[in-house]
Structure 1
Amino acid sequence: MTLRDKMLALLVCAAWGANYVPSRWLLDVWGPFLLLSMRFTIVALVLVPFYRTPTGKIRDIIVLSLVLGTVHFGMMFGGMAMGLDVSSTVISSQLGVPFSCLLGSIIFQDRLGRWRSLGMLVSFLGVIIIAGSPAIAENYLPFMVACGGALAWGYGNIYIKRFKDYPMLAVLGWMSLFTAPQLVLLSYLFEEGQWQALQTTDMRVWLSLVYTVLLSSIMGYGVWYSLMAKHRVSQVVPYSLLIPVFGLTFTHVAFAEELTTQFIVGGFATIIGVGIIILRKPEQQHLEQA
């Protein structure tokens, strides 16, 4: 990889890690389903006009929209809205990689091997350590909800292989088109005061939405998968290990969240475990959680 491409990979990972900050700001004003419905609606409006209808893939797009769009993002943002701190959300989202390996071994009989099994064990052990910390002891339900979102991402990461011949931005656009109505319905059923919240929204919130849509979703995925197409996967994917590092750094600066020794040890173990899995099987492409 050239220095330029290395810098682009770092910038994308930094943008995805920083995305937890504007997401938290948005959740302070909007409910999770309203926020996500706005996000996916705008992504669909921007991307769908540029890509043809995925012929013969509508059913798969609908399934993906339910699993990745509604369940994964709904549970991850729902956990934050229920009171889970951002740092714990960053770490719990890393479980998507070991969950993906575990589901792959169950559904496709993929052989895990010694190293990937070790990586799964270490990452799950790290989350168990975090789960015993005082911050999580009072928020077990939100933490489990966020972990459920990581499980949904793990399945979605397997399911998305059905679209290997399609541009990733096309998949993102059409998935968003089908995800948005689901989230609008959930917002209507479970949230109140949406119109008032939109009317009283200040500029920081609107800029946060622009960041999550344009920088994190569209530009992030566009640059990332252009790098994946240009270079070997083994050269690009390891950079994704920096996402939780950037995420924890930005959230600590923005919200001054206390990082206890127990949390740091557990978070480090989780990231190491995920690193073992990724580095031992770099050929597997996956959709980042941003």
Structure 2
Amino acid sequence: MNPFHLVLALIANCAWGFNFIAGKIGADHFQPLLFTSFRFLFLLLIMLPWLRPAPGYMKPLLRVAFLLGVGHFSMMFIGLNGGGNIASIAITTQLYVPFSAILAAILLKERIPMIKILAIATAFLGIIVIGFDPIVFNHLNAVFWVLGAAFLMAVSTVLMRRFPDMGVFRLQAWIALVATPSLLLLSLIFESGQLQLLENLQLFDLWTVCYSAVGASVIGHGILYYLLGRYTVATVTPLMLLAPLLASIFGIWWFGDQLGWRLVVGGTLTMGGILLVSIKIEKLTTLFNIKDRRFHKK
């Protein structure tokens, strides 16, 4: 990967890392469901030019849009709202990678090599260690919300393999269209004080909504899609694992988060396991000097 593309990867990681800060502030100010609905409303306005039907694939597309927009994002921002620090939330969201590998094995009958099974176990072990951090332990409900968000992301990832690549912006347009009214309805049911919030709303309060929509979705995913068009998934995906580390640093800088040793050790285990799950098996066998007869067949 050339230096320019590495810089783009760093920008995407920064955009996603700071999204945890903007999401935390926005969810605290607006309430999680209302904030998420505003986020998608703003994203929908941006993505309207890409809102085009997908003949023959509308049902799976709408299913994925609901799981991601309504399920994944609402649970993630609820977790951010209730979390004791940014690091534990940012690291836990990455469990969608091993969740995806497990679901692909179950639903798509994909084989998981022993190396990756150990990597998946290591990733989940890290989350268990993180759970015993005193700050995290007092906010375990937030971790469970984010675990649910990661699982729904994994389900959506597997389902997306069943219809052709439609482009990141087209997919996000449909996610925003489905999520905006659904989340607004859920906010009216489960949250309160929306009218008072709107009456006292100042223009500056919307920076978190704008950033989450533009910074994370348009810039972050736009760069990811650009890089995936030029490099393999196995090359690009490991580079994107920098986002949780940057989110943790931003959390220390912005909120004064404290990182205990359990969080550091658990985070290292989880991110190390996820990195190994993300790397192609050919690279893993070379890395560990393990021979797999599948790669020696003529």
Instruction: Give the TM-score normalised by the residue count of structure 1.
Output: 0.92
- Structure 1 residue 202: deviation in Å? 3.9
**1:32, 1:195 → 2: CA distance?**
15
- Structure 1 residue 74: deviation in Å? 1.2
Would you say 1:152 and 2:152 are equivalent positions?
A: yes
Contact 1:80-1:142 at 8 Å conserved across structures: yes
SS of structure 1 residue aligned to 2:201? coil
CA-to-aligned-CA distance 1:25-45 (integer Å, 9 cap, x gap): 111211111111111112122
**2:40, 2:170 → 1: CA distance?**
13
Q: Which residue of 2 aligns with 1:42?
A: 42
Q: Which residue of 1 aligns with 2:57?
A: 57
SS of structure 2 residue aligned to 1:19? helix
CA-to-aligned-CA distance 1:180-237 (integer Å, 9 cap, x gap): 1110110110111112213323454312221111121112211210111022333322
Matching residue's letter, 2:85:
D
**1:60, 1:282 → 2: CA distance?**
32
Contact 1:96-1:150 at 8 Å conserved across structures: yes
Would you say 1:179 and 2:167 are equivalent positions?
A: no
Contact 2:83-2:136 at 8 Å conserved across structures: no
Contact 1:76-1:146 at 8 Å conserved across structures: yes
**1:118, 1:204 → 2: CA distance?**
47
Contact 1:105-1:112 at 8 Å conserved across structures: yes
**1:29, 1:51 → 2: CA distance?**
30
Q: Which residue of 1 aligns with 2:79?
A: 79
SS of structure 1 residue aligned to 2:161? helix
Q: Which residue of 2 aligns with 1:66?
A: 66
Contact 2:39-2:213 at 8 Å conserved across structures: yes
Q: Which residue of 2 aligns with 1:116?
A: 116
Q: Which residue of 2 aligns with 1:140?
A: 140
1:155-234 pair list within 5 angstroms: 155-234=155-234
Q: Which residue of 2 aligns with 1:288?
A: none
**1:202, 1:15 → 2: CA distance?**
24
SS of structure 1 residue aligned to 2:29? coil
Unaligned runs of 5+ in 2: 284-298
Residues 153 and 281 (structure 1), Cα distance of their counterparts in 2 relative to 1, 3 Å cut: farther
Contact 1:99-1:154 at 8 Å conserved across structures: yes
CA-to-aligned-CA distance 1:227-271 (integer Å, 9 cap, x gap): 110223333222111111111111111111110011100011100
**1:188, 1:34 → 2: CA distance?**
8
**1:78, 1:172 → 2: CA distance?**
21
1:227-242 pair list within 5 angstroms: 227-242=227-242
- Structure 1 residue 162: deviation in Å? 3.0
121-130 or 153-162, larger mean C-alpha shift: 153-162
Contact 1:29-1:201 at 8 Å conserved across structures: no
**1:228, 1:241 → 2: CA distance?**
15
Q: Which residue of 2 aligns with 1:245?
A: 245
SS of structure 2 residue aligned to 1:29? helix
Contact 2:85-2:251 at 8 Å conserved across structures: no
**1:237, 1:83 → 2: CA distance?**
26
Contact 1:233-1:282 at 8 Å conserved across structures: no
Q: How well do the aligned residues superpose, as a CA RMSD in angstroms?
A: 1.8
Contact 1:92-1:150 at 8 Å conserved across structures: yes
**1:241, 1:197 → 2: CA distance?**
36
SS of structure 2 residue aligned to 1:162? coil
- Structure 1 residue 132: deviation in Å? 1.4
Matching residue's letter, 2:130:
I
Percent pairwise identity: 29
Q: Which residue of 1 aligns with 2:105?
A: 105
**1:209, 1:37 → 2: CA distance?**
9
**1:191, 1:237 → 2: CA distance?**
36
Q: Which residue of 1 aligns with 2:26?
A: 26
Q: Which residue of 2 aligns with 1:287?
A: none
**1:168, 1:55 → 2: CA distance?**
17
CA-to-aligned-CA distance 1:30-71 (integer Å, 9 cap, x gap): 111111111111212211323422222221122112211111
Structure of greater Rg: 2
Q: Which residue of 2 aligns with 1:266?
A: 266
Q: Which residue of 1 aligns with 2:17?
A: 17
Matching residue's letter, 1:71:
G
